[in-house]
């Protein structure tokens, strides 16, 4: 199982590497036949126009390559065609700094500015020169102008369910004018109404119902699709008067024909009176909406044409054209810079919120049952819409892409689709957009194209003229029917022949009908062999044109494509050891390098020892490396002797500090003791033994300041790296056992005391015996005279009883 996973991983890695090479090789893969085709392949591609650039066997397309590769192959900078893109700002009017409430003297001139004189976006016009694959970036500034004019058109559903709402809207004009005067000094308002298509089954077509669609004693006006009641005006009282004359109408089904009305409001600019200012459309209803396809219920199958059909301010083609689709409405609202506010009742909030997500720069507000909150709803929705700027661009030419990055308030940066917009913008705030335009190829034969960028809901826009680089500059110096190209069979341009139709070959010397004849193939076989162009190329006009490799650094060459620059000897996994280049499968070494793989250096400086002797006088220098003749010496210059006396002492301090953190070099250990690899082992038996290693190993035993022994080995391995194996446990002498010592001392004192007493006693006994024996001896030798002491009186007195008779 593991073997299968390994094999899959290897194949996947090879596949990814191959794809990465192909993707990174756009210049080679383009197989360009002339300079213009080359520069369209990518921004990194250049064309060498040097006539002597091509080697034998190389095709014309090998003139097209990445710049560094062309220079490396011998093409001078001034012979490389590499045109670059450019940009030029044609109109750059500064954004308007305009304020209100600064006093009449200061602000009078500003307040009199016409809408077309106010600038909110900069620059306004620029020209870009695009080279395929090379992005061109520019910055676009947007500043929300203060006191910017506003046109507001109130479009109201006048079906019967909106009866109470109409009463509140009748006084909307003057009230809304008063509130909007806090935002702008230039405000206009208009009014329109809608009900439904005037055909069955949307309304009742009986004569009585056509006159009064309401039931009972309700007096209603005849049903209609859309009516433009009041053109945009700055007269709020006129709004109140005309709206006050409106009457409720009626229809049969619940969804209304509001989409027909929105379409007419959007496209009938002259009838509505739209100016090039902020355009707001307030859509007020308490019901859903019909959309494209619903007209079939009334037998209407023609799609909405998106054109104005107002006669006497009434939509006259509702019975002829179907309802518009949502996408159609989005397009027309966007084209006419109209921002929509849906003022709908709570019941239909979910429906219109979904619709809002489909219509850019639109908002949804909750309308009270009788529309009493409509002014606050409009103000809130306007503030929400105007606080966000969203950029959109017109349709791009084929192959052209645009990327946006927004730099909004408080340092917020967005990219991708979010890079088109900034939110929470207040009046007077300024934001920046970085826009990058990139072209791939040359759209429409290089003809200039014009695109436009504008913020949604605003009339201002940026006009960008795109010019495409499709040909090289040297193309202008081309010579048609040049004699340099086989009797004038092509145009000689940019150092190569651009063949006429039907001609092939490097000099267009052959007809395309004769390129594969046996006679021509014979001249492409080396030594009359069987392989055409050594199986590394194609025979074109009797001349080998060598195949290309995925790797642009690898090439076939030679008369028969028998040579290449990638099959030479390698060293260290590098072609020619990295010290030469491959020519026809043979390494051509750089100076001071030799051998077949250029892996032998002729520089002896790397063999010079510290005593300025080659290999310390104990070896020979071969290819910049010392071969030590004395087996005791090692290292790059034969100066290391791991088994010589003094090695253990020399490294003692460094071993202490690195292995145990002690010793005299404890503070400078990292600086002075980093020239060897330290390997710790647990036991002395695990230290390397001389017989086990293929290089000399020195065993060392040293003692530290605490009389502890530590054991290690020192060696220089086969890679000339110093290795030290050390036992990580110190061998320290055991400390004295206090209790036995104290007990012994006490016992010794007691025993010595007893012994002394015994000796004293013995001596006393001996002394006494000697004295007694002496006494006895003297007693026996003494001669005493017998006599009584005259003063002696015997202590014994004898008394005789007189009456004793002795019986």
pLDDT given for residue 138 in this prediction = 95
10 Å CB burial of residue 471 (0-12, 13-18, 19+) is buried
Contact 709, 701 (CB under 8 A): yes
Contact 47, 35 (CB under 8 A): yes
Structure tokens at 393: 């661009």
pLDDT given for residue 787 in this prediction = 61
DSSP 8-state symbol, 345: -
pLDDT given for residue 518 in this prediction = 65
Distance between CA 439 and CA 455 in Å, rounded? 23
pLDDT given for residue 188 in this prediction = 92
pLDDT given for residue 169 in this prediction = 78
The answer to whether the predicted template modeling score (pTM) of the entire model surpasses 0.75 is no
pLDDT given for residue 686 in this prediction = 85
pLDDT given for residue 737 in this prediction = 76
Q: At what angle do helices 374-386 and 172-180 cross, to 10 degrees?
A: 40
Start-to-end CA span in the chain (Å): 146
pLDDT given for residue 104 in this prediction = 44
Structure tokens at 592: 């001071």
Q: At what angle do helices 172-180 and 236-244 cross, to 10 degrees?
A: 150
pLDDT given for residue 749 in this prediction = 92
pLDDT given for residue 168 in this prediction = 75
Closest Cα partner for 225 from 351, 322, 367, 335? 322
Q: pLDDT tens for residues 197-245?
A: 888 888 888 787 877 778 767 778 888 999 999 999 998 888 888 888 8
Residue 543: Cβ within 10 Å count: 20
Distance between CA 688 and CA 711 in Å, rounded? 12
pLDDT given for residue 305 in this prediction = 94
Closest Cα partner for 157 from 226, 229, 239? 226
- Report residues of the chain scoring pLDDT below 50: 1-24, 100-110
10 Å CB burial of residue 153 (0-12, 13-18, 19+) is buried
Strands annotated E in 324-429? 338-344, 362-366, 389-393, 400-407, 413-415, 421-422
pLDDT given for residue 370 in this prediction = 67
Closest Cα partner for 635 from 534, 718, 714? 718
pLDDT given for residue 429 in this prediction = 87
**Backbone φ, ψ for residue 472 (5° rounding):** -80, 160
Distance between CA 730 and CA 703 in Å, rounded? 9
pLDDT given for residue 89 in this prediction = 94
């Amino acid at each position: 199982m593991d073997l299968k996973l390994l094999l899959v991983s290897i194949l996947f890695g090879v596949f990814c590497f191959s794809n990465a090479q192909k993707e990174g090789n756009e210049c080679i893969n383009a197989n360009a036949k002339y300079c213009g085709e080359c520069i369209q392949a990518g921004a990194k591609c250049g064309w060498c126009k040097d006539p002597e650039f091509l080697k034998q066997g190389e095709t014309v397309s090998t003139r097209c390559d990445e710049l560094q590769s062309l220079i490396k192959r011998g093409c001078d900078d001034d012979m490389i065609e590499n045109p670059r893109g450019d940009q030029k700002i044609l109109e750059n009017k500064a954004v308007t700094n305009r304020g209100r409430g600064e006093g009449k003297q200061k602000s009078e001139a500003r307040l009199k500015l016409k809408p077309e004189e106010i600038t909110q976006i900069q620059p306004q016009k620029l020209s870009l020169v695009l080279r395929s694959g090379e992005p061109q970036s520019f910055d676009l500034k947007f500043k929300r102008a203060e006191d910017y004019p506003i046109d507001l058109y109130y479009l109201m559903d006048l079906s019967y369910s909106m009866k109470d709402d109409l009463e509140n809207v009748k006084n909307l004009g003057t009230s809304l004018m008063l509130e909007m005067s806090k935002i702008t000094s230039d405000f206009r308002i208009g009014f329109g109404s809608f009900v439904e298509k005037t055909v069955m089954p949307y309304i009742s077509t009986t004569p009585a119902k056509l006159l009064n669609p309401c039931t009972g004693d309700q007096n209603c006006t005849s049903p209609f699709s859309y009516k433009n009641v009041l053109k945009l005006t700055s007269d709020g009282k006129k709004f109140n008067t005309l709206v006050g004359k409106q009457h409720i109408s009626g229809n049969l089904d619940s969804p209304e024909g509001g989409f027909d009305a929105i379409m007419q409001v959007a496209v009938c600019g002259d009838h509505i009176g739209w100016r090039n200012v902020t355009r707001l459309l307030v859509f007020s209803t308490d019901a859903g909406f019909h959309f494209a396809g619903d007209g079939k219920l009334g037998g209407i199958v023609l799609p909405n044409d998106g054109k104005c059909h107002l006669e006497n301010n009434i939509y006259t083609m509702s019975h002829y054209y179907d309802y518009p689709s949502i996408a159609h409405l989005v397009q027309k609202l966007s084209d006419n810079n109209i921002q929509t506010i849906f003022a709908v009742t709570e019941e239909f909030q979910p429906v219109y919120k979904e619709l809002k997500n489909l219509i850019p720069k639109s908002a949804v507000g909750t309308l009270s049952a009788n529309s009493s909150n409509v002014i606050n709803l409009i103000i809130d929705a306007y503030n929400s819409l105007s606080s966000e700027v969203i950029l959109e661009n017109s349709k791009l030419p084929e192959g052209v892409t645009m990327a946006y990055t927004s730099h909004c308030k408080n340092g917020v940066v967005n990219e991708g689709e979010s890079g088109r917009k900034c939110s929470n913008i207040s009046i007077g705030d300024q934001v920046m957009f970085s826009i990058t335009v990139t072209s791939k190829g040359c759209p429409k034969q290089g003809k200039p194209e014009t695109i436009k960028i504008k913020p949604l809901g605003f009339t201002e826009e940026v006009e960008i003229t795109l010019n495409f680089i499709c040909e090289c500059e040297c193309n202008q110096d081309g010579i048609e029917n040049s004699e340099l190209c086989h009797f004038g069979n092509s145009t000689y341009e940019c150092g190569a022949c651009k063949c006429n139709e039907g001609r092939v070959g490097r000099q267009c010397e052959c007809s395309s009908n004769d390129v594969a004849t046996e006679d021509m193939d014979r001249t492409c076989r080396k030594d009359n062999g069987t392989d055409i162009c050594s199986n590394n190329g194609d025979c074109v006009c009797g001349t080998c044109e060598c195949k290309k490799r995925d790797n642009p650094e690898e090439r076939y060459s030679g008369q028969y494509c028998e040579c290449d620059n990638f099959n030479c000897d390698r060293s260290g996994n590098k072609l020619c050891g990295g010290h030469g280049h491959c020519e026809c499968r043979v390494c051509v070494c750089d100076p001071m390098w030799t051998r077949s793989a250029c892996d032998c250096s002729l520089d002896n400086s790397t063999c010079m020892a510290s005593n300025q002797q080659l290999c310390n006088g104990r070896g020979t220098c071969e290819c910049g490396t010392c071969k030590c003749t004395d087996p005791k010496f090692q290292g790059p210059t034969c100066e290391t002797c791991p088994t010589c006396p003094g090695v253990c002492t020399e490294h003692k301090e460094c071993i202490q500090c690195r292995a145990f953190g002690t010793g005299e070099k404890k503070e400078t250990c990292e600086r002075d003791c980093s020239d060897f690899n330290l390997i710790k082992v647990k036991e002395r038996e695990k230290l390397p033994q001389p017989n086990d290693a293929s290089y000399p190993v020195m065993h060392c035993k040293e003692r530290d300041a605490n009389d502890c022994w530590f054991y290690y080995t020192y060696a220089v391995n086969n890679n000339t790296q110093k290795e030290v194996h050390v036992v990580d446990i110190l061998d320290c002498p055991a400390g004295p056992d206090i209790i036995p010592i104290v007990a012994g001392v006490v016992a010794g004192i007691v025993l010595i005391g007893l012994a002394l007493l015994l000796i004293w006693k013995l001596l006393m006994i001996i002394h006494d015996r000697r004295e007694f024996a002496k006494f006895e001896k003297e007693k026996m030798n003494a001669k005493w005279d017998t006599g009584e002491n005259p003063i002696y009186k015997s202590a014994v007195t004898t008394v005789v009883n007189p009456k004793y008779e002795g019986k």
